[in-house]
Amino acid sequence: MKSAVVRDVTGGVTTPSPPPGAAAVCARSQVPRLVSLGDLSVSFGPVQALAGVTLEVWPGESVALIGGNGSGKSTLLRVIHGLLAPSGGGVSTPPRRAQAMLFQRPWMLHTTARRNIAMGLWLRGVPWADAWTRALAALERVQLAHLAERGARGLSGGQQQQLALARAWAQRPSLLLLDEPTANLDPAAKHKVEVLMHEFARAPGLPDAAPLTMIFASHNLGQVKRLARRVVYLEQGRVLADLPVEQFFDRQVLRAVSPQADFFLKGELL
């Protein structure tokens, strides 16, 4: 695994204790943490988007971020990816080249689906011939090879999200970040994207690829149950619950850990 990049804005990186669930993962694997956030804060003028967030993620984990609108999920993903600078706290993440991030509406170059993938690889230093070959392999991986020469911006929303996943997969990241990747898709397209997320997290599909770690934000609790192994609940920029998925959806356990998270879950289920 590539060495982590440490971004520290307070003069020292905090080393927090493993949250519930993550400690068990650490004990099993005994490997370095892939993501480590210590007492992280982010402010936009008078608005505090994140406050005192401590979070650790180990290689191979699939972590869901949930919470209401404005709870800090997207901000947290952007800090991890290096798109936002924290106002305080310590941040240790893999290098940007070892990460890929997907948004609700993926941005597409005004060219073909295959070139959208190949250009991304070429800009990362991959020779064009290799990038061109890997682009087609990535499209085959997401069952879009028949649309390789179709204009990317003319694809449906679901197809564009599949293309974005193909583009991420081709880059062979060790960390995949997704911000509500199925929020604007119809049920059929949502299912296709979920299947790909599941397959990528369980089996990256490349012999020399690092174990893929996935952190995704979602409002879909069914999706969280299907794809996550661990759930982090945020409210007003703070982490109020961090549990293995089976414990998070055990109302008795959740109520003891965080009444606020239990109230949120009850409202979502209703």
CATH number for the domain spanning 133: value is 3.40.50.300
Domain containing 41: what range? 5-61+82-95+224-269
Confidence of residue 5 (pLDDT cuts 50, 70, 90): very low
In a domain, 68, yes or no: no
Q: How confident is the model at residue 104 (pLDDT cuts 50, 70, 90)?
A: confident
Confidence check: pLDDT of 73 > 60: yes
Whether residue 153 sits in one domain with residue 130: yes
Residues 157 and 260 in one domain: no
| Average pLDDT of span 57-67 | 95
252 and 158 assigned to the same domain: no
16 pLDDT higher than 60: no
Give the model's confidence band at 173: pLDDT under 50 very low, under 70 low, under 90 confident, else very high: very high
Dist. CA 38–CA 18, nearest whole Å? 11
- Residues 238, 262, single domain; the answer is yes
Q: Is the pLDDT reported for residue 255 higher than 60? A: yes
Q: Is 267 left (phi over 0), alpha (psi -120 to 50) or beta?
A: alpha
Q: Please state, in angstroms and rounded to a whole number, the distance separating the CA atoms of residues 171 and 138.
A: 9
Q: 166 and 129, same structural domain?
A: yes
How high is the mean pLDDT of the chain?
A: 87
Taking CA 128 as the corner, what is the angle to CA 127 and CA 131, rounded to the nearest 5 degrees? Answer: 90
Q: Report the SS3 class of residue 32.
A: coil
Please indicate, yes or no, if residue 229 is contained in any of the structural domains: yes
Average pLDDT rounded to a whole number, residues 121-131: 95
Domain boundary among the residues 173, 191, 217 is at 217
Alpha-carbon distance of 59 to 196, in angstroms, equals 19
Cα(32)–Cα(37) distance, integer angstroms: 14
Whether residues 241 and 196 share a domain: the answer is no
**In this model, does residue 207 exceed pLDDT 90?**
no
Position 185 pLDDT exceeds 60: yes
CA–CA separation, 208 and 200 (whole Å): 14
- Mean pLDDT of all residues in 163-172: 94
Q: Is residue 66 assigned to a domain? A: no
Strands 230-235, 238-244: pairing is: antiparallel
Query: Residue 266 has what pLDDT?
Result: 86
Name the residue with higher pLDDT: 71 or 2: 71
Return the pLDDT at 61: 94
Q: How many CA atoms lie within 13 A of 60 on its CB side?
A: 11
Average pLDDT value for residue range 7-26: 43
Same structural domain, 106 and 206: yes
DSSP 46-74: TEEEEEEEEEEE-TT-EEEEE-STTSSHH
Q: Is residue 69 part of a domain?
A: no
**Residue-level pLDDT at 214:** 96
Do 130 and 200 share a domain, yes or no? yes
Tell me the C-alpha to C-alpha distance, in Å, between residue 4 and each of 49, 80, 97, 178, 233.
25, 12, 11, 20, 25
